[in-house]
């Protein structure tokens, strides 16, 4: 990797305390374990994984909404972990967020002008007239116009609301926007429009994104790199095209196969053989061995007791899987075809 990363996360763990979850009453619950990620200026990192894998926990920790329990997070020259959840405004301004639900994330009593200019009012000494001008510029950036300024959120569709949220996130010219499932609540054609909009804005403004999604296929075009999470662990990371076209971790392959199929016959067959059973794995089984060991079609004895380290993958990036260990013979890899592919 050339140059210094804008955001560098090392061995980050996030632990929640004192909530009763599936019988874990009062015990610590490790939502993220030893995650490593980095994003350079202007780069998009797609963070994917099924529900409960810990994506939002990472996002919220970067945003300073949830404290890290261990590890380090650097943003430029700032030590985010040391700041706990009290980021000074110079840092808060540079890291903005867009969340999934465009219905609850916008204050219904405010006008679009107030929503979009709120960050400017709070964090800059800009005059009201100048803020209004800036609001018009920002709305244009998201393909809305001046006439929308005086309207309220309920007068817009879901996709338009997400445009408003993006305009507000752009107001302070941040270096990083954390997008936590920004299109998951939208219909498919609106999802594509918003992804394209994000793509254009990123290239024009040089912003970096941490883009969270369930669907790898949806975000791989816009992402430079992709990280895949499973049960609190990042199990694979690498250049977007490589991860998408040549996934190295068995979980990444399962995730790609989980993309909806148009052929109902194939869809039925796949459902019958599906390996993804989130509820079963919601409990973080004793923290030994590979996190994917209970669902992996390639599981080996050592996966039960040893945590796979990050092995380099041909084409770039790393995957935490013993199948990539140099000592695992090439032939063994080929004979270990997962039974589900045949079914
Ligand atoms: N405040 C909290 N207290 C206790 N446990 C929590 C808290 N927030 C999240 N969790 C748990 O941590 C795990 C990871 O949650 P997180 O929201 O980070 O997952 P996610 O990958 O964003 O899932 P989704 O795709 O559903 O948004 C889950 O098992 C969740 O129940
Ligand atoms: Mg989430």
CATH number, domain containing residue 298: 3.40.50.300
Structural domain contains residue 109: no
Q: Which domain holds residue 316?
A: 7-94+174-332
Q: How many other CB atoms are found less than 10 A from the CB of residue 89?
A: 10
User: What's the CA-to-centroid distance between 69 and ligand 1, angstroms?
Assistant: 15
Q: Is residue 10 within 8 Å of residue 70, measured between CB atoms?
A: no
Quick one: pLDDT at residue 302? 95
**pLDDT, tens digit only, all 343 positions of the chain:** 456 899 999 999 999 986 555 555 567 889 999 999 999 999 999 999 999 999 999 999 999 999 999 999 999 999 999 999 999 999 999 999 999 987 788 999 999 999 999 999 998 899 999 999 999 999 999 999 999 999 999 999 999 999 999 999 999 999 999 999 999 989 999 999 999 999 999 988 889 999 999 889 888 999 999 999 999 999 999 999 999 999 999 999 999 987 655 555 655 555 554 444 443 444 455 578 999 999 999 999 999 999 999 999 999 999 999 999 998 755 455 455 554 443 3
Quick one: pLDDT at residue 199? 93
Q: How many other CB atoms are found less than 10 A from the CB of residue 327?
A: 6
Q: Is residue 61 within 8 Å of residue 67, measured between CB atoms?
A: yes
Q: Which two tokens stand for residue 200?
A: 């254009």
Burial 119-140 (b: 16+ CB within 10 A, else e): bbeeeeeeeeeebbebbbebbe
Structural domain contains residue 106: no
Burial 237-256 (b: 16+ CB within 10 A, else e): bbbbbbbbebbbbbbbbbbb
What angle (nearest 5°) sits at the alpha carbon of residue 228, between those of residues 241 and 230?
155
Structural domain contains residue 154: no
Atom of ligand 1 nearest to the CA of 284: 29
Structural domain contains residue 126: no
Pocket test for ligand 1, best of 24, 56, 61, 251 (most atoms within 8 A of CB): 56
Count of domains observed in the chain = 1
Q: Which two tokens stand for residue 107?
A: 């204050």
Structural domain contains residue 62: yes
User: What's the CA-to-centroid distance between 52 and ligand 2, angstroms?
Assistant: 7
Structural domain contains residue 266: yes
Structural domain contains residue 265: yes
Q: Which ligand is nearest to the CA of 232?
A: 1
Separation CA 238–CA 218 (nearest Å): 16
Q: Which two tokens stand for residue 253?
A: 């392959």
Residue having the nearest C-alpha atom to atom 28 of ligand 1: 52
Pocket test for ligand 1, best of 17, 20, 23, 54 (most atoms within 8 A of CB): 54
Of the CA atoms within 13 Å of residue 286, those in its CB half-sphere come to: 4
Structural domain contains residue 338: no
């Amino acid at each position: 990797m050339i140059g210094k990363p804008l955001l560098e996360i090392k061995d980050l763990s996030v632990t929640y305390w004192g909530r009763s979850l599936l019988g874990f009453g009062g015990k610590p619950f490790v939502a993220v374990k030893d995650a490593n990620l980095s994003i350079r200026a202007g780069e998009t990192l797609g963070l994917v994984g099924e529900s409960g894998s810990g994506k939002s926990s990472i996002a919220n920790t970067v945003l300073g909404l949830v404290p890290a329990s261990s590890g380090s997070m650097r943003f430029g020259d700032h030590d985010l972990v040391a700041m706990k959840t009290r980021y000074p405004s110079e840092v808060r301004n540079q890291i903005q967020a867009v969340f999934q639900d465009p219905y609850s994330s916008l204050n219904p009593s405010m006008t679009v002008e107030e929503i979009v200019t709120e960050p400017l009012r709070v964090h800059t000494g800009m005059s009201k007239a100048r803020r209004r001008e800036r609001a018009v510029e920002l709305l244009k950036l998201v393909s809305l116009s001046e006439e929308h300024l005086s309207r309220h959120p309920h007068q817009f569709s879901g996709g338009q609301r997400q445009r408003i949220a993006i305009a507000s996130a752009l107001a302070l010219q941040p270096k990083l926007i954390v997008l936590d499932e920004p299109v998951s609540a939208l219909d498919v054609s609106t999802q594509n429009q918003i992804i394209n909009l994000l793509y254009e804005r990123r290239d024009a403004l040089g912003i970096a994104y941490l883009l969270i999604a369930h669907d790898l296929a949806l975000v791989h075009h816009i992402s430079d790199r992709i990280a895949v999470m499973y049960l609190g662990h990042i199990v694979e990371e690498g250049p977007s095209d490589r991860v998408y076209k040549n996934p190295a971790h068995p979980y990444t392959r399962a995730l790609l196969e989980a993309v909806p199929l148009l052929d109902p016959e194939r869809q039925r067959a796949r459902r019958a053989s599906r390996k993804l059973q989130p509820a079963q794995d919601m409990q973080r089984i004793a923290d030994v061995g590979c996190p994917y060991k209970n669902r992996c079609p390639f599981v080996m004895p050592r996966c039960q007791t040893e945590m796979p380290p990050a092995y380099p993958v041909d084409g770039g990036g790393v995957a935490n899987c013993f199948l990539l260990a140099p000592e695992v013979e090439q032939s063994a890899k080929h004979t270990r075809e997962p039974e589900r592919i045949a079914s």
